[in-house]
């Protein structure tokens, strides 16, 4: 089945530094990738939608300059948290559609801790 590989699974960084999270579709081409943020015991909050070869679409209230999304190829989408601060600490998940009406395949998530 379709697999999305997400790395790193955990990262701790110092305040003010940047962190890059990668999501790769391993056995299918992901023209679209959704990026979410999730707080403990809460639902997924959609941050942005990346499309291969075009600019990402950000949800209202998400800072484009802080959360840089790049969809460089049909198998790779990245989220870079720039100038991270403790309030950016969270669980970040990516997902890609696996065919019309067949739902999404999710990455395994990245737990970001900013100290």
Per CB under 8 A, residues contacting another protein are 32, 34, 38, 41-44, 46, 49, 57, 91, 93, 95, 97, 100-106, 108-109
Q: How many residues does the chain have?
A: 115
Smallest distance, Å, CB 47 to another protein?
12
* CB 22, min distance to another protein, A: 17
Please say which residue, 34 or 67, places its beta carbon nearer to another protein: 34
Nearer to another protein, 97 or 113 (CB): 97
Nearest CA to 81 among 35, 26, 32, 33?
A: 35
CA nearest neighbour of 68 among 94, 47, 37: 47
- Tokens, residue 55: 């600019």
Interatomic CA distance for residues 53 and 92, integer angstroms:
22
For another protein, which is the closer residue by CB, 10 or 15? 10
């Amino acid at each position: 089945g379709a697999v999305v590989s997400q790395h790193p699974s955990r990262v701790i960084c110092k305040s003010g530094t940047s962190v890059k999270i990668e999501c790769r579709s391993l056995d299918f081409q992901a023209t679209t990738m959704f990026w979410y943020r999730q707080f403990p015991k809460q639902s997924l909050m959609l941050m942005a939608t990346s499309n291969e070869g075009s600019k990402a679409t950000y949800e209202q209230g998400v800072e484009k300059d802080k959360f840089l999304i790049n969809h460089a190829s049909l198998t790779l989408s990245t989220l870079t948290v720039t100038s991270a601060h403790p309030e950016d600490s969270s669980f970040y998940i990516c997902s890609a559609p696996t065919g019309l009406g067949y739902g999404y395949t999710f990455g395994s998530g990245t737990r970001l801790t900013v100290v």
